[in-house]
Amino acid sequence: MNESILHRIYERAALCRAFEEECFRRIKSGHVRCPTYLSAGQEFIPATISVWLEEQGITDRQIFIQHRGHAQYLSFGGDIDALVLELLGDSRGCAGGMGGSASIQSKEANIYGHDGLMGTQVPIAVGACYANRKPTIVFMGDAAAEEDYVLASLGWAVTQRLPILFVVEDNNLAIKTEKRVRRSWSMVRVARGFGLEAQDVTDDPEALSRALIGTFEDGGGPWLLNVTTHRRYWHAGAGVDDENIFDRYVEVSSKLDRGYVLGIQSAALWRVEKVWTRHCRAAT
């Protein structure tokens, strides 16, 4: 992978991680009171896809995110101030202070939020793509992928040859229940059965970028990527299920120049802390 592209991906991932770690602290301190779904550990998925789309010159796109969507929102250009205000319940927030963590959005960036029902962003995304034929990316968790209307949406997307990419952020958990307890089938095999181009991939940015090759080319589609990833924090709230869980952010950071990493992380932390501190002070 071109080093400049990897750096752009890393810089977005660093902002997402800094935001989630500060959000974690603000939950602990009582500033954030709404149910909060942190995406730390999964940030390289949206960071990589967003940069890849830009490299392909795909700017007129629509993004449908899931409830664990902070990293998706930030990676695709959502306003950080509006996100903080939303988590604080302020009417100036990205969803008027009424959506909380689960239902963030940015109409300006063509990011459409989750309505609170598991997996419903998928049929909504398919319907929007069917109506306007815009390149569409829809994110879901591995549990949301099990909903019947999600599976029916895959079939309709194939029937209509829609330019839509389904991204399953597969952290193996539905709250705390592992996939092996919930189902006996593979998401990729089911998707291929419907006729999608589908593959399993990890959230390593180089591997994920390779898996994206050919997406949104030559009037093709739909596609599905089942991306193995790891959730750093609890399903909701500020806690850690497993201190020893694999962390892609730490792994990628260790491969980059230490001075570069420290500079990017410091800049991200400074930006995030400044925004949180300003709005939390105003709220007290």
Per-residue pLDDT tens over the stretch 37-64: 999 999 999 999 999 999 999 999 999 9
**Is 273 a residue whose pLDDT tops 80?**
yes
Q: Where are the beta strands (DSSP E) in the chain?
A: 62-64, 111-112, 136-141, 164-170, 173-174, 177-178, 197-202, 223-228
**Is 16 a residue whose pLDDT tops 80?**
yes
pLDDT class for 116, splitting at 50, 70, 90? confident
pLDDT class for 21, splitting at 50, 70, 90? very high
Structure tokens at 3: 């080093």
As a whole number of angstroms, the distance between CA 88 and CA 207 comes to: 36
Mean pLDDT score of the chain: 97
pLDDT class for 77, splitting at 50, 70, 90? very high
pLDDT, residue 53, reads 97
Structure tokens at 183: 């189902």
- Mark residue 30 as left, alpha or beta (left: phi above 0; alpha: psi -120 to 50; beta: remaining): left
Q: Give the number of other Cβ atoms within 10 Å of residue 186's Cβ.
A: 13
As a whole number of angstroms, the distance between CA 52 and CA 46 comes to: 10
As a whole number of angstroms, the distance between CA 168 and CA 208 comes to: 12
Structure tokens at 146: 């099990």
Bridge pairing between strands 177-178 and 173-174: antiparallel
* Contact indicator for 101, 82 with CB cutoff of 8 Å: no
Per-residue pLDDT tens over the stretch 168-216: 999 999 999 999 999 999 999 999 999 999 999 999 999 999 999 999 9
As a whole number of angstroms, the distance between CA 35 and CA 15 comes to: 21
Convert 21-50 to b/e letters by CB count within 10 Å (16 or more is b): bbbbebbeeebbebebbbbbbbbbbbbbbb
As a whole number of angstroms, the distance between CA 230 and CA 222 comes to: 25
pLDDT, residue 12, reads 98
Convert 118-130 to b/e letters by CB count within 10 Å (16 or more is b): bbbbbbbbbebbe
As a whole number of angstroms, the distance between CA 255 and CA 250 comes to: 9
pLDDT class for 218, splitting at 50, 70, 90? confident
Residue 52 is which amino acid?
Answer: W
pTM of the predicted model, to two decimals?
0.97
**Is 283 a residue whose pLDDT tops 90?**
no
- Counting residues of the chain whose pLDDT is more than 90, the rounded percentage is 98
pLDDT, residue 219, reads 86
Q: What integer is the mean pLDDT of 135-144?
A: 98
Q: Give the number of other Cβ atoms within 10 Å of residue 83's Cβ.
A: 23
pLDDT, residue 284, reads 74
